[in-house]
């Protein structure tokens, strides 16, 4: 049976649920959303995965629906799991609830959890796969890269002037980016599980490194604050307060830092460090996504957005692929900023792993 218009709408809603900000995601967990529809295409219940150890999206929706789940269609962003981990298999929950049909977007590539479709069909449940698969694949990019590379996915965020400066000659940087860009940054921070800066950024800028809403209120769930570098942290820095957990990674090696975070179960690092830290990750080819906020201003001097990469000719320039360009409207008379989103950056150096040296 082909998918219906109601199922398309439900899948778009499920994708939105899956991307709910503030949900802690670690190395072996996925962002998943689920919507239950009745025979007339009306929503019976919806749910999403809220982090390790919590019910999966299907189980969440089924619990909300109760007895009304019988005979429904489950529209879910990922193939229901056939695996017992922190929670039981979603396939068993769907069968037990009497769900009639399952429509999912993306096949589960994790061999430990895969095989859900076969189990559902064997139980007599109608299954349709691939609805809005491209949209689901984009959402799952972080998980796929982390699983393949066995390290956290790295998003590098920078705010820069038109001439590539992140701060003026006197060190001031508030504000290069606009209010809208800073709000957008908090939205992206909430989709990561770790924010990473260098000790220099902590010493000079004293960032709070938390997720806050448009009114400045802290989110209920905060990413880990990770500080990388060998120097001690001044005891009065705000990153050492109780607003979120903070870890000091006493290394200058980005491979070692990511290995430590991966071993701690971290899946997505949001890199907000200064030019030295950014250059280290770029040289190593450890930047999977670039989010650049460009402000309509010139400084002519000051701090560059990235330190020396050792590139001496234009032919050797790093050239990430632009995947999105969005104009962020000005707020309260501010000029708009432009957000560029770009794909993985190839390494300047030969990649290595700290365990190999």
Q: What are phi and psi of 240, to 5 degrees?
A: -95, 5
User: In terms of C-beta density within 10 A (0-12 exposed, 13-18 middle, 19 or more buried), how is residue 188 classed?
Assistant: middle
Catalytic residue at 106? no
Separation CA 288–CA 275 (nearest Å): 17
Q: Closest by alpha carbon to 23, among 33, 34, 12, 9?
A: 33
Q: Which of 58, 79, 106, 272 is catalytic?
A: 58
Q: Which residue numbers are catalytic? A: 58
């Amino acid at each position: 049976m082909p998918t219906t218009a109601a199922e398309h709408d439900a899948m778009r809603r499920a994708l939105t649920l899956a991307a709910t900000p503030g949900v802690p995601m670690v190395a072996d967990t996925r962002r998943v959303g689920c919507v239950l529809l009745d025979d007339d295409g009306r929503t019976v219940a919806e749910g999403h995965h809220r982090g390790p150890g919590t019910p999966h999206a299907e189980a969440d929706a089924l619990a909300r629906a109760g007895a009304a789940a019988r005979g429904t269609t489950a529209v879910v962003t990922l193939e229901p799991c056939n695996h017992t981990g922190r929670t039981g298999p979603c396939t068993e929950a769907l069968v037990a609830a009497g769900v009639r049909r399952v429509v999912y977007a993306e096949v589960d590539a994790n061999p430990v959890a895969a095989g859900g479709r076969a189990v559902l069909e064997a139980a007599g449940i109608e299954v349709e796969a691939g609805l809005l698969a491209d949209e689901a694949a984009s959402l799952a990019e972080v998980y796929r890269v982390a699983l393949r590379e066995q390290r956290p996915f790295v998003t590098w965020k920078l705010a820069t002037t038109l001439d590539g400066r992140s701060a003026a000659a006197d060190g001031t940087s508030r504000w290069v980016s606009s209010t809208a860009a800073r709000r957008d940054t908090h939205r992206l921070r909430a989709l990561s599980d770790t924010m990473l800066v260098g000790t220099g950024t902590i010493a000079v800028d004293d960032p709070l490194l938390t997720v806050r809403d448009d009114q400045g209120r802290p989110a209920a769930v905060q990413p880990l604050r990770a500080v990388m570098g060998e120097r001690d942290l001044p005891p009065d820095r705000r990153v050492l307060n109780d607003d979120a957990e903070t870890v000091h990674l006493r290394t200058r090696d980005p491979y070692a830092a990511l290995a430590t975070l991966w071993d701690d179960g971290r899946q997505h690092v949001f890199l907000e460090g200064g030019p030295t830290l950014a250059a280290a990750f770029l040289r190593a080819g450890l930047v999977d996504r670039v989010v650049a906020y460009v402000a309509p201003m010139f400084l002519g001097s000051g701090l560059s957005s990235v330190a020396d990469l050792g590139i001496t000719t234009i032919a050797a320039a790093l050239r990430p692929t632009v995947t999105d360009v969005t104009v962020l409207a000005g707020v309260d008379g501010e000029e708009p900023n432009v957000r560029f989103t770009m794909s993985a950056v190839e390494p300047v150096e030969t990649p290595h792993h700290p365990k190999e040296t």
